[in-house]
Amino acid sequence: MSAAEPVVRLVEVVEETRGHGLDRFAIPELWRFSRGAGVRVGIFDSGVDEAHEDLSGAVHGRVNFTPDPDADSYGHGTHCAGIVGARVNGLGVHGVAPECDLFSVKVINDQGGSMYPWLIQGLDWAIAHRLDVASVSITGDRDDPLLHDAIRRAHAAGIVVVAAAGNAGFVAGVDTSGYPARYPETIGVGAVGTGDARAHFSSSGGGVNIMAPGTDILSTLPGNRYGITRGTSTATPFVAGVVALVLGKLRSDGGNATPRLLQELLYENAGDLGTPGVDKFTGYGLIKPESLFAAIQRRFAAFFHAPPQSTDTALRLGAVPLFAGLPPERLEEIAAACQTDRREAGEVIFREGDRAGRLYLVLEGMISVQKATTSGAVELARILPPGCLGELSLFDGAPRSASAIALEPCRFLTLSGEALRPIARAHPEIYENFLTIVSRRLRQAGAKLAG
C-alpha cells in the first residue's frame, strides 16, 4: 500500500484563499447551513502537523501505527488535513469543513508506504474513539479479507469511509482501482481536472464511485508551508469534507444518517459525466454538494423542521414512507392515535416472536434490528431518525420476524395496529406503501443472512 501521490510543488500564500474548488462547488454558500462543527474526521495518512497556522486547534486527537515518529515528515497527511478542515482565520487556505474536529491516524510511513495491518488498526481505533468520517488517501493492489472485515466494522459502527480510487489511469481490460476503495462499504473517489473532465491519471474500475477536484490542489504542508499537488488522494478529503458538512447540518437539526444512506444520497445527486449512467471511469459522476444539501433538506424537512404546534406529529408522520402521499387531514387522524415511548441504551424494544403489532417512528437515537441464527444474532439494519420499524407485523399481528434493541437512548412515536387498520382500510395507499417497504426489507434481510 502507498499514499496515492507526493506533494509536487511548494507555493507562497500571501493572503487567505479558498483554493481547491471551494468556489467552483459553492462550498462557502453551504457554510450558512453547516461548517462541520463537532463532526469527527480521521485523516488516515502520514500524520498531521497540528502546529500549522491554518490547523491551529483543529486536531483533537492523534495516533501512530507506523514504526516511524509521529511527526508528518512526508507531508501528505498535513496536505489532506488542510483540504478537509483548514480554519477560516485570515491565514492561508480554507478547508471544506472548517469547523470539524480532525484526528491524525498515522498509517503511512515517512517514505510514503503503508501496510494493511496499520490501516486495520487505525480503523479499529476510529471505532473505539467514535469517529464519524475516515478520509483514507491510500491504495493497495490486492483484496484482503481482514481489511474488508475492518471496513465492515467501521461501516456498521456508523463511520463513513471515503477512500482514494488510485492514480493508475486506464488500462484496457484491467480494473486499476485500488483497495479499500473497491469495497462496497466505502465511497471510492476519482479525480477531475479543468472543465470537470476526468483526470488522465485517475484509476478506472469498481473502486470509482464519485468524482471530485483532484488537480492543482493548494493546501497546507508541515512547517507553516503550502503546496500544490494532484491525485485521487486530494479528491478524497474534499469528499470527506462534504460528508462532514452534511453530518453537521443533520446533527444541528437533531438528526443523523447512516453511512449507507449518505452513500445513496451522494450517488443519487451526483452530476453524470462521460458515458450516461454509472461507468467505470467516473462512477455515478461528479460530486454536487448543493444538490446533495437540497436532497437532504427535502428528505428531512418535514421531520426536522416541524413547527411547535398541534400539527407537529402529523408533519413527522409525513416524512415516513409508510404514510407517503396521505393528505394532511389523514395524517392528523393518525397523529391523534400516536403515543410516545422511550428506551435506554441496551433495552429491548421488542423481541423476535412477539405478537404485539405496533409501529415505532424513531425520533431520537439508534436502533439495531437483529435476527437469531444458528451461529448467533445477525444485525439486519440500524434504524435512525426518521426511520420506522415494526411494519412487518403491524397489519395482521403476526409474530415479530426480528428483535429490536436500543443502541443509545431512544425516543419514539408509537402506533398500534388496532388504531391504524381502520384508517388503512379507508386509504389503500397505506397498504400499498406497506407492501413496498416489506418487499424491500425482506430482500435486504435475505441478502444480510445469505452473506
76 is catalytic: yes
CA atoms of 35 and 399, how far apart (whole Å): 45
Set 2, 20, 34, 45: catalytic member:
45
Question: pLDDT higher for 371 or 451?
Answer: 371
Set 137, 219, 233, 368: catalytic member:
233
104 is catalytic: no
Give the residue from 236, 244, 246 showing the smallest Cα distance to 208.
236
CA atoms of 176 and 414, how far apart (whole Å): 50
Set 20, 52, 76, 148: catalytic member:
76
> What pLDDT does 370 receive?
86
Q: Map out the domains of the chain with their CATH numbers.
A: 2-299 (3.40.50.200), 312-450 (2.60.120.10)
Question: pLDDT higher for 170 or 274?
Answer: 170
> What pLDDT does 42 receive?
98
> Does the pLDDT at position 17 exceed 50?
yes
> Does the pLDDT at position 2 exceed 70?
no
Beta strands 358-364 and 388-389, pairing class:
antiparallel
CA–CA distances in Å: residue 207 to residues 101, 178, 181, 314, 318: 27, 6, 5, 42, 37
> What pLDDT does 185 receive?
95
pLDDT band at 233 (very low <50, low <70, confident <90, very high): very high
> What pLDDT does 301 receive?
58
The Cβ of residue 394 has, within 10 Å, a number of other Cβ atoms equal to 24
Which residues does residue 61 pair with via DSSP β-bridges, in sequence order? Answer: 103
Backbone angles phi, psi at 90, to 5 degrees: 85, 5
> What pLDDT does 302 receive?
46
> Does the pLDDT at position 319 exceed 90?
no
Cell of 8: 509536487
CB 380 within 8 A of CB 352: no
> What pLDDT does 433 receive?
72
> What pLDDT does 310 receive?
37
pLDDT digits (tens, 9 = 90+) for 129-142: 999 999 999 999 99
Sheet architecture: strand order including 410-416: 339-343, 410-416, 358-364, 388-389
pLDDT band at 306 (very low <50, low <70, confident <90, very high): very low
416 is catalytic: no
> What pLDDT does 203 receive?
96
> Does the pLDDT at position 303 exceed 60?
no
> Does the pLDDT at position 163 exceed 80?
yes
pLDDT digits (tens, 9 = 90+) for 388-406: 776 555 555 567 778 889 8
Using CB atoms within 10 Å of the CB of residue 443, give its burial: 0 to 12 exposed, 13 to 18 middle, 19+ buried: exposed
Beta strands 9-11 and 160-164, pairing class:
unpaired
> Does the pLDDT at position 429 exceed 80?
no
**What's at 71, amino acid-wise?**
A
pLDDT band at 307 (very low <50, low <70, confident <90, very high): very low
**What's at 264, amino acid-wise?**
E
Question: pLDDT higher for 274 or 55?
Answer: 55
Mean pLDDT of 25-29: 90
> What pLDDT does 19 receive?
61
Q: What angle do CA 213, 235, 66 make, to 5 degrees?
A: 160
> What pLDDT does 398 receive?
62
Where is average pLDDT lowest: 46-55, 77-86, 388-397?
A: 388-397
CA atoms of 241 and 36, how far apart (whole Å): 8
pTM, full prediction? 0.69
Mean pLDDT of 272-301: 88
Beta strands 160-164 and 186-192, pairing class:
parallel
> Does the pLDDT at position 426 exceed 60?
yes
